A and B are shown apart, each in its own frame.
Chain A
Amino acid sequence: MRRLFARPETAAAVGTVLVWLFFAVTAGEPFRGLDGAATYLNAAAPLGILSVGVALLMIGGEFDLSVGSIVGAAGMSIMLLTTHFGWSLWPAIVATLALCVAIGFLNGYAVVRTGLPSFIVTLATLFMVRGLTIAAARGLTRRTQLGGLEEVGGYESARWLFGSEPIGDLRVSILWWLGLAALATWVLVRTPFGNWIFGAGGHADAARNVGVPVAKVKIGLFMTTAFCAGIVAVLQAVRFTGADALRGQLQEFYAIIAVVIGGTLLTGGYGSVVGAVLGALVFGMVRQGIVMAGVDADWFQVFLGAMLLVAVLVNTYVLHRARRAA
């Protein structure tokens, strides 16, 4: 019992059920049914994918405020490479994911080398990446929104993998989300690298002293986070057959909120990917549930902020209890 209570995602699981019940009552039938589930799962999936990377990174003791701008950059990279430079879609996707991983590497390298808080370093990259994306798009095409991906070679096969709806109204992005979450969970709790993530985030010096390559672990986590942002961009570009240089704004904060709702500590060293999945699910349910309940969508942000506060308080409380019980 104490073990269950001490798990990072326990509170999030309870919270998920409560939020579902709340909207099942206030929003009624449209929320409760399968259609409702498809609506909030589809809304949760992109954020969920980002949160998988961000959860690992935060357990490893770092933040990344640049993920949202990487989503925008990656979407624009796909569109420019295809519609402007005439590449076909698949090579553009591969090159774009490589670009994302490279940005992640630079983030990680800068954090590890300077020793500055990642909060500040990635705040700087947020603006640089966003600015470069807008400048590149406008410089090359005079526009910041590009379309026409459906006419690019390779689109049909890419649509099957990134833009389809394999079961009813459920989008394929949900499978990407759950697949990446399962993979990340396995890495975190079952591989040596996962153990190093906990070590690097829990106490970097102690981990280093027993031989954990902390710098490499952290750089790897920034690359993973940026890769997740790249996947989100690919999914969205293929689905919407276009991209917007401003896409992904605020996602960095939503991802942190989802991860924190999922029970991961802001200080690192403690948390779970399962919790982050639940956090993103709660996010999707609130976003769609509010609309279905007939409340003005403006209230969404109020709700979100309040939930973040409650989650942090609950996490802190649970942690104190777990410590005292022992």
Chain B
Amino acid sequence: MSTHPPVLEARSVSKRFGRVLALEAASLAAREGEVTCLLGDNGAGKSTLIKILSGVHSPSSGEVVVRGTPVDFDSPRDAVARGIATVYQDLAMIPMLSVWRNFFLGTEPSRGRGLLTRIDVRRCREEALAALGEMGIELRDPEQPVHTLSGGERQAVAIARALHHGAGALILDEPTAALGVRQSQLVLEHVRRAAERGVAVVLVTHNPHHAYPVGERFLVLRRGQVVTDRPKSDVDVDTLTHLMSGGG
């Protein structure tokens, strides 16, 4: 067990939307080099929790902690600046935009000063191609619009983008939900590779069969509460499935 504090933690966070309690005292710790799987059925509170971790919502109570320091994100941009990257299932990319523009959206490397500050386009193109090459994706043309890629490739580009921007923690929201078997396997390999590079990965999914082979730690959310938080050695796929569907 590592002695470092977890890269990203939720400590007893709750979230209320009007009179609805979407999340109740949920805790999660994502550690360097590990894949932490967050499982739950639709409406269990998974998206609320990751939106809190990624700075979209602020918690009604409880705190978010980055490397031991409590933080209060104003915006997703704030979270990104602290090394928390989030890849959403259907919102990962801007379809009409080219691969390199997507790759650097929000973090454009620039040259020049003041009013002459401009994107370093050549560097963007080269770095995007190189970073994708490292993930095993060979693109000929970084000007290619993202909608011309397959679903798996899009997720892979999004993961490569997060890693390239030095994310210490990577939150993946249902990365395999809309994909076929082969594409899912490809994405899960990328998830594994991201953890091997030392990133703290939070994998959110409702599919225990996808989570189990790649995960180190498994949390199950049900009706806004964490009902289980166990290492791989303490659970198997059947137990996870059972816990998700309401068994105790």
* Interface residues of A, Cβ cutoff 8 Å to B: 3, 6, 186, 190-192, 194-196, 198-199, 202-203, 205-213, 265, 269-270, 322-323, 326
1/0 per residue, CB under 8 A from A, across B29-58: the answer is 000000000000000000000000010100
Complex: A207 Cα to B147 Cα, angstroms: 15
Residues of A within 8 A of B95 (CB): 202-203, 269
When distances are taken between beta carbons in the complex, the residues of chain A under 8 Å from B79 are 211
Residue among B81, B86, B121, B148 with most chain A CB within 10 A: B148
Q: Is the CB of A195 within 8 A of B118?
A: no
A residues in contact with B119, CB < 8 Å: 190-192, 194-195
Chain A residues within 8 Å of B76, by CB? 208-211
The answer on a CB contact under 8 Å between B105 and A207 is yes
Chain B residues with Cβ below 8 Å from A194 are 119
A323–B97 CB distance below 8 A:
no
**Residue in chain B with minimal CB distance to A191:** B118
Chain B contact residue count (CB 8 A cutoff):
34
Asked if B101 and A206 sit within 8 Å, CB to CB, the answer is no
**B233 contacts the other chain (CB 8 A):** no
Give 13 pairs: A residue, B residue, CB < 8 Å, sorted on A: A186-B118, A202-B94, A206-B94, A208-B76, A209-B86, A210-B76, A210-B105, A210-B161, A211-B77, A211-B80, A269-B95, A270-B96, A322-B145
Contact of B101 among A186, A195, A211 (CB under 8 A): A195
Q: Which of A202, A210, A213 contacts B96 (CB 8 A)?
A: A202
In this complex, what residue of A is CB-closest to B110?
A192
Taking a contact as CB atoms closer than 8 A, the residue among A3, A202, A211 that contacts B106 in the complex is: A211
Minimal Cβ-Cβ distance residue in B for A194? B119
C-alpha gap A3/B77 in the complex (Å): 32
A192 touches B75 (CB 8 A): no
Q: Is the CB of B97 within 8 A of A199?
A: yes
Asked, given contacts A202-B96, A212-B105, A213-B75, whether A192 binds B117 with beta carbons under 8 Å apart, the answer is: yes
A27 CB to nearest chain B CB (Å): 38
- Give 1 or 0 for each of B113-149: 1 = CB within 8 Å of chain A CB: 0000111010000000000000000000001110110
Contact B117–A205 (Cβ < 8 Å)? no
Q: Are B56 and A211 touching (Cβ within 8 A)?
A: no
B54→A209 contact, CB < 8 A? yes
Chain A residues, Cβ within 8 Å of B81: 211
Closest-by-CB residue of B relative to A190 is B118
How far apart are the CA atoms of A234 and B145 in the complex, in Å? 40
- Can you name the residue of chain A whose Cβ is closest to the Cβ of B145? A326
Shortest Cβ distance from A89 into chain B, in angstroms?
27
0/1 per residue, B196-239, Cβ < 8 Å to A?
00000000000000000000000000000000000000000000
- A198 near B101: Cβ-Cβ < 8 Å: yes
Provide the residues of chain A in CB contact with B161, threshold 8 Å.
Answer: 210
Residue from the list B86, B97, B121, B148 in contact with A198, Cβ < 8 A: B97
Chain A residues in 8 Å Cβ range of B148: 323, 326
